[in-house]
Amino acid sequence: MSEPAAAPPISEKEVAPPPPPPVEAKPAGVPVRRARYDVAVIEALDKVTAESLRFEAAVGRPVRYKSLVFTVKACERSAPEEAVEDSIAYLTVDSQPRPEPGKPPLAPRQAFKGWMYASSPGLHPLEHPVYDAWLITCRAAVPVSAPPPPAR
């Protein structure tokens, strides 16, 4: 019988670094609070004319882009504790052509309803033959104007 071969010594370069210290996790059942905003920034593309438009939609106020009507229900940004920084909006998009003079308006058809993620626009896309739309970010509304300084 032959002697077992001795393993060559291990250099410091081959040794894996120690695992990172455990991160203190929040107790189970405590939800992560995301910051809520009142304006969603959306970009829309007309695939026929290649025209794109970036616009803002306030939460709860419908905004029209050509024959689409966007209504944002909620707009949030990820909490600092979350691994990925993202903007998330829940919205509905209705397809409703503009009414023609002398004809009754057509009833809207829902083209999209759900959450859109700014970091993953293809995750829950608007599926429409003519238009694409995606969320850019959520932001707070800018105050209309500062109060005037007191008269002296």
Of residues 3 and 71, more confidently modeled: 71
- Output the CA angle 27-37-86, nearest 5 degrees: 60
Mean pLDDT, all residues of the chain: 81
d(CA 146, CA 140): 16
* Residues 70-127 pLDDT 10s: 999 999 998 888 888 899 999 999 998 877 888 887 888 999 999 999 998 888 888 8
134 neighbors 125 (Cβ within 8 angstroms): yes
Please, which pLDDT band fits residue 28 given cuts at 50, 70 and 90?
A: low
d(CA 24, CA 2): 52
Percent of the chain clearing pLDDT 90 (strictly above) = 49
Q: Is 15 left (phi over 0), alpha (psi -120 to 50) or beta?
A: beta
